[in-house]
Structures are given as C-alpha cells and as structure tokens.
A and B are shown apart, each in its own frame.
Chain A
Amino acid sequence: RKEVEQDPGPFNVPEGATVAFNCTYSNSASQSFFWYRQDCRKEPKLLMSVYSSGNEDGRFTAQLNRASQYISLLIRDSKLSDSATYLCVVNAVRGANNLFFGTGTRLTVIP
C-alpha cells in the first residue's frame, strides 16, 4: 500500500467555485502533514502545513482527521492562478524524517 494516496483528478472547475481534495495516509504514526503546490515542470512549494485543529489561510482551509487517516484541502473562490497540481505530503518519522509525497491532484480553473 502506498504511504500517501490521492485522487489524481483532473478537477476542472469554473472561476469562483469551491473545490476540495482529499488524501489518505497509511502510517498511523505520521506526525506532520502538508499541502504543497507544484506548477508544471517546477519544484514543489509549500502551500500550508496541516494542524490537528485544522487551519485556514485566506481562501485555503486544511483539515486533518487522524482517526480516519485523511487530510483535506478546501479552496474557496477559485482563481485562474490556482491551476496547479496539489501534493499531499506526510512525514512518516523514520530516521531522517523523510517526507512522503502523494502523486498529486491536478486542478484546472476555467475562466
């Protein structure tokens, strides 16, 4: 079983729409969770960390459900510039604190 699983999409949504992505992780001992954004042929960039209590940053809201081992990302009022691949990332606490990446969910916001 993969460490991190995501629906690859693609999600095609109109501007202004609300879209949600989910991700599941397999290691119940995982301690840190992140959403990264990756534009085509570019490196991943940290979008936000995911805290146990849930957290919000502008139009972006992240939630963590430890019991069900899933993480979600909600994007409100989608902008064209939100088009990218969103990577769910989990730190599985193994030696050097490696990050495990999901395959990413592709979002395209349509005018």
Chain B
Amino acid sequence: GAVVSQHPSRVICKSGTSVKIECRSLDFQATTMFWYRQFPKQSLMLMATSNEGSKATYEQGVEKDKFLINHASLTLSTLTVTSAHPEDSSFYICSARGQPSSYNEQFFGPGTRLTVL
C-alpha cells in the first residue's frame, strides 16, 4: 500500500511556542490531505482538508489562524500549531488520498504526539 510519513513523531514544547508537523506521501501524489486529532480514548476528529495549491477547508470549531495548513506540493502538507497551549496536547494524524483512488481510501501517517507543557 501507499506510504505516508510524518515528522516529528513526538514533540514536547513550552506553552506559547509554535510547532510544525510535516506530512509526506512517499510513493504517490496526494491531491488531498487530511489532518485529524485524537484525544485519549476518543475517536479521530477531522480538523481540516487540504487540496494541493488551494486553501484548506476547516471543520467547524477548528481555528484556522491557530492551526495553519500548507499543502504546497503534491507530496507535502504541513500543520503548524501556533502559540500552543496544554489543551492542544494530542495525537495529530495526517492522511493522504491520491488519484486514482477507489472507495475513498485514505492512507494514514504514523502520527505525531504533541505535548505542550
């Protein structure tokens, strides 16, 4: 299957700093990438959808100025958590979908565990 990588896998930062997470599709071109967040014992919640070369579409309740998404190429999307606070501590997972894609399958990255002190 297709491979999606994320970097870093784990990050610990102080409150108020910004953190950038990279999501790369390694062996296919991802026309659409998705960013999810998962809190302990909860389901994955979609934060935003990004299409290469256009602005991301954010889900209700997700602040676009706090979670900056850039999908500048067909193989790379970045999520920047600006002025992170302890409540932003979570497991952030990206997924990618390329073309052609049947049944809307998404390939998930290994996730980034963010801890904000």
Number of contacting residues on B, CB 8 A?
Answer: 25
Q: Mark A83-111, 1 if CB is under 8 A from B, else 0.
A: 00001000100011111111110000000
Inter-chain contact B104/A43, CB cutoff 8 Å: no
- What are 30 inter-chain pairs, A to B, with CB distance below 8 A? A32-B104, A34-B105, A41-B91, A42-B110, A42-B111, A43-B93, A43-B109, A43-B110, A44-B44, A45-B108, A46-B1, A49-B105, A91-B104, A95-B57, A96-B34, A96-B57, A97-B97, A97-B104, A98-B34, A98-B49, A99-B34, A99-B46, A99-B104, A100-B46, A101-B36, A101-B43, A101-B44, A102-B43, A103-B42, A103-B43
Inter-chain contact B43/A87, CB cutoff 8 Å: yes
Q: A96-B51, A101-B43 are in contact. List 8 more A-B contacts (CB 8 A).
A: A42-B111, A44-B93, A49-B103, A49-B105, A97-B97, A99-B104, A99-B106, A101-B45
